[in-house]
Amino acid sequence: MASAGADEADVNHPSFQTVLELLRDGRIWVKLTVIRRSQNGPNYEDARPFHEAMIKANPNRLLWGTDWPLVNLGERTPDLGALVDLADAWLDQDEGLKRKIFVDNPAALYGFAA
């Protein structure tokens, strides 16, 4: 990602691979939030390989988030509607996957009815 060092920006970095292993094993939940690490808004393409790797690892343990209230971003503060549109595009408009990440997984994690 742009704000990280070159080695940290690689999806093959050992630290990220550890996250993927924990995710694959169902030992962690991950909130898909692109705006904190990326400097490349509004499309955040530098974050997409990480997003794709996590979906491939275990979509049953992912949640989507805007990171609202978006403090300390100044001029980099994104449009929330654009973030929802971006999530829709990155999830390939797959309704089942979107329901999982937006509704079913948060309900499972937080213990409320979907």
67 carries an active-site annotation: yes
Ordered by where they begin, the domains of the chain are: 7-110 (3.20.20.140)
Cα–Cα–Cα angle for 83, 102, 31, rounded to 5 degrees: 70
The reported pLDDT for the residue numbered 4 is 44
The reported pLDDT for the residue numbered 114 is 56
The reported pLDDT for the residue numbered 41 is 85
What CA–CA distance (Å, rounded) separates 60 from 65?
15
The reported pLDDT for the residue numbered 104 is 95
What is the mean pLDDT of each successive set of 10 residues along the chain, which is 114 residues long?
50 96 98 80 91 96 86 81 89 91 95 79
Task: Name the DSSP class of 4.
Answer: S
Marked catalytic residue, from 67, 85, 92, 94: 67
Check: pTM over 0.85? Answer yes or no: no
Cα-to-chain-centroid distance, residue 97: 13
